Structure 1
Amino acid sequence: MKLLANDGIDPIGKELLERAGFTVDTVHIPQEELVSKLPYYDAVTVRSATKLRKELIDVCPNLKLIGRGGVGMDNIDVAYARSKGIAVVNTPAASSLSVAELVFAHLYGGVRFLYDANRRMPLEGDTGFAGLKKSFAKGVELRGKTLGVIGFGRIGQETAKVALGVGMDVVACDFVNVPKTLTLNLSGGILVDVPVKQSSMEELLKTADFISLHVPFLNKPVLGKAEFDLMKEGVGIVNASRGGTIDEAELIAALDSGKVAFAGLDVFENEPTPRKELLLHKKVSLTPHIGAATNEAQERIGVELANIIIDFFQR
């Protein structure tokens, strides 16, 4: 069996596949060349960069499996692929902690103005140190504040666990029932059950000091003008889920007005070319869609994906 890991795969996952008899190619094939080269493979794995749409699927009669390393599969025409008899699989649990920790990197950086200080210190630190110190002297602590988590799947729950672990209150909103408690695995193997409150979207928006999004792309923004109007003054927002889940024009307006104190963005509407207004905004903390990009998560993803693929073809 020939497998193309077009967006890479962890070496351990590659080794597992090769031991099982697969030929694994890891050299990236540009999107425009896939139409001529992908038909020679039995399986392909991707992350978020490679797009597998109907037109490409139609020219790949040998393709039996598509594997997504990670959670969201909006870069794959999943239903169409499955209608053609192609298995489509992903690894939803492997990257949850890495995404949650990135959310808190944005949150901690946000409440202490690191996103702006890291821009201004190299330019003004040697001549305006005292002024910068005064500008960034009104930080706040996360402990005791309320984090609203919109979308309470694996990543939302992992984010909530981190929040509870640092002493935040958590309110969660989802269209399914939210668990009443989450189990924190503390140092030394100590397990502690901590309560979580489920709320309506309206209540969450009105009460949360910080909001973290963990929803799939839904063809329309989850947060638009009406939602921003309900939020507390000076709220902080982090989006490490999918681009398009926040109306970016309304977010910019809310940042400019002070309604939103800061935003941490790992995803954008029009990746890979985010709008300049966000990239240059002094109240935005930025990362280039790296939520799952830790060594630990990539190893877990590679191993899980390899085992899924091996099991599928051995059946």
Structure 2
Amino acid sequence: MPKLTQTKPKVLITDALSDAAVQIFRDRGIEVDFQPGLGKDKEALAAIIGQYDGLAIRSATKVTDKLLAQATRLKVIGRAGIGVDTIDVPAATARGVIVMNTPFGNSITTAEHAIALIFALARQIPAADASTQAGKWEKNRFMGVELTAKTLGVVGCGNIGAVVADRAIGLKLKVIAYDPFLTPERAFEIGVEKVELDELLARADIITLHVPLTDKTRNLLSEENLAKTKRGVRIVNCARGGLVDEIALRAALDSGHVAGAALDVFVTEPAIENPLFGHPNVICTPHLGAATSEAQENVALQIAEQMADYLLSGAITNAINFPSISAEEAPRLKPFVALCEKLGSFLGQLTEAPIKGIRITYEGTVAGMNTRALTSAAVTGALRPILQEVNMVSAPVIARDRGIVIDEIKREGGASDYESVVRITVDAEDMPRDAAGTVFNDGKPRVIEIRGINIDAPFAPLMLYVRNHDRPGFVGSFGTVLGEAGVNLATFAMGREAEGGNAIAFVAVDAEVSPEVLKAIEAIPQVKRVRPVRF
């Protein structure tokens, strides 16, 4: 973590921020150079970036590794908005530059746009407007449907989805919600009925999507899932392109199974061409979810406050690439942050049922450290397999909003054979899952226990987790399957409860393992289950 500026900090603003946001910096005693539009001139920006401690941007400015190489004083980049795809975050992290965003500033605006599209679909407003302005009077053509008493299916009931649900309940719709992280208590609190995805597909008159795009959510509304919906369903997507199989949706619209669709996001953007364009029952808008003056003002004010707090006092809010820890703590905590995030990620990747709670137990020396950052790292790891935009600062807030209970236990006494041990339990609705790890003297985190079984395994980018029976022949058969598939083993760690009992293997591989190879591994008689995991 870089040291804060002792002299008056200087911030460069290269995209359009409001005068009120600029004034926040000045009122806090920070020198501001406001040059909106400079972000589009790469050479001019690179020539002066070395003079500044902070850089405030929107989406027009591209912060590349090459630009960062010239930013010798830069300590913080603030993105007024959610997406940081225009920032080379790994390069910024390597140079000790904090990257902040404003993940919740657009929630109301995006939710309202979804509600607007629901109304537009129900009453065919765009087509009716075009027809009427063309001099036609086709009153019988545009027969709409009432929203009152209809069932709205909300897929993803986090910050934005909960606002949509609230507005829909006010409009007298029945709201059902599917969200793996939504607890029954939180569902009751916001007034929705929690259901599984298949039930939502079967019951909903209107489906609205509010989840991030991940490997698990890509083509969430696939051809197969679209077939599970009731005939006449209407679909709204203001979240991310790629959640809906656009070709399958076109076919469902052509057949009449889907009555209408409204989309603000597309697989390819800008969307110059698209399979859905031209269909009479489709409404399209050019990614306007956050496009209101209020939302743009809110995120500008938020990023100004966050950057000022960091430059003046070291407080970190909504950081993408760093936990809330001080400069003195950073070197000591860094390997334990990595351990907690990887352990949490491992358990999160194994968990498909909704999560009710996450318990982190610190034993030994680590219990005396700043465990708040470590707990944030563990929660981030557990939630990220579903919510990829979660970071170490926002993770506790997201968990709280979804009713997930976070418990932190400290035991500063001895920690078995290790100086420090971190134990994490992810309590899901189907069953709890647990693992423990430590950091060796080399600073590298390791797994030392899974499901109560002792093991000693380093983390690797690609791994296989296998549950098996402790019987002869497993290792040979397992190695043969991978060998025939051309997948090289990097490390192989095993553990068992007792001779002939339950056993586990945690294996690092050098290449992706295909679904066909996974099925071949599962077909080995000793294997109970195999799961690929990424770190």
Fold match by TM threshold 0.5: yes
Choose which of 139, 142, 147 in structure 2 pairs with 1:133.
139
Q: Deviations over 1:254-301 (max 9, x none)?
A: 222222222111112221234244343322222221212222222221
Asked if 1:236 corresponds to 2:234, the answer is yes
* Cα contact 1:143–1:167 (8 A) shared by 2: yes
In structure 2, the partner of 1:23 is: 32
Q: Which whole-Å CA distance do the structure 2 matches of 1:179 and 1:59 have between them?
A: 51
Choose which of 88, 107, 112 in structure 2 pairs with 1:101.
112
Per-residue deviation at 1:232? 1.4
SS at match of 2:276: helix
Choose which of 277, 293, 296 in structure 2 pairs with 1:295.
293
Structure-to-structure mapping, 1:24-39, within 5 angstroms: 24-29=33-38, 33-34=41-42, 37-38=45-46, 39=49
In structure 1, the partner of 2:251 is: 253
Which amino acid is 1:16 matched to?
I
Q: Which whole-Å CA distance do the structure 1 matches of 2:282 and 2:294 have between them?
A: 27
* Larger fraction in helix: 1
In structure 2, the partner of 1:14 is: 22
Q: Which whole-Å CA distance do the structure 1 matches of 2:88 and 2:183 have between them?
A: 29
Q: Which whole-Å CA distance do the structure 2 matches of 1:145 and 1:92 have between them?
A: 31
Closer, same or farther: CA 251–179 of 1 in aligned 2, 3 Å: same
Q: Which whole-Å CA distance do the structure 1 matches of 2:263 and 2:183 have between them?
A: 25
* Cα contact 2:81–2:101 (8 A) shared by 1: yes
* Cα contact 1:110–1:263 (8 A) shared by 2: yes
Choose which of 161, 182, 191 in structure 2 pairs with 1:177.
182
* Cα contact 2:11–2:56 (8 A) shared by 1: no
Gaps of 5+ in 1: 184-192
Per-residue deviation at 1:146? 1.3
Paired residues in the alignment total: 298
Per-residue deviation at 1:159? 0.9
Per-residue deviation at 1:118? 2.2
RMSD, aligned CA: 2.5
Closer, same or farther: CA 178–82 of 1 in aligned 2, 3 Å: farther
In structure 2, the partner of 1:168 is: 173
Q: Deviations over 1:16-60 (max 9, x none)?
A: 1233323243422465x4366244454333444555455655554
Q: Which whole-Å CA distance do the structure 2 matches of 1:205 and 1:106 have between them?
A: 19
Closer, same or farther: CA 275–312 of 1 in aligned 2, 3 Å: same
Pick which of 109-118 and 170-179 moved more. 170-179
Closer, same or farther: CA 313–202 of 1 in aligned 2, 3 Å: same
Q: Which whole-Å CA distance do the structure 1 matches of 2:66 and 2:229 have between them?
A: 42
Which amino acid is 1:213 matched to?
L
In structure 2, the partner of 1:44 is: 55
Per-residue deviation at 1:307? 0.6
Choose which of 86, 95, 99 in structure 1 pairs with 2:97.
86
In structure 2, the partner of 1:117 is: 128
In structure 2, the partner of 1:227 is: 225
Q: Deviations over 1:156-178 (max 9, x none)?
A: 11111111111111112222124
Per-residue deviation at 1:303? 1.5
Q: Which whole-Å CA distance do the structure 2 matches of 1:9 and 1:182 have between them?
A: 37
SS at match of 1:278: coil
Which amino acid is 1:135 matched to?
R
In structure 2, the partner of 1:311 is: 309
Q: Which whole-Å CA distance do the structure 1 matches of 2:169 and 2:84 have between them?
A: 29
Per-residue deviation at 1:70? 2.6
In structure 1, the partner of 2:80 is: 69
Q: Which whole-Å CA distance do the structure 2 matches of 1:261 and 1:169 have between them?
A: 19
SS at match of 1:205: helix
Larger radius of gyration: 2
Per-residue deviation at 1:80? 4.9
Gaps of 5+ in 2: 1-9, 314-535
* Cα contact 1:148–1:170 (8 A) shared by 2: yes
* Larger fraction in strand: 2
What TM-score, normalized by structure 1, do the two folds share? 0.84
Q: Deviations over 1:219-276 (max 9, x none)?
A: 5332221221111111111111122222222222222222222211111222123424
In structure 2, the partner of 1:188 is: none
Q: Deviations over 1:131-173 (max 9, x none)?
A: x11110x211111111111122211111111111111111122
Q: Which whole-Å CA distance do the structure 2 matches of 1:59 and 1:203 have between them?
A: 54
Q: Which whole-Å CA distance do the structure 2 matches of 1:58 and 1:232 have between them?
A: 55
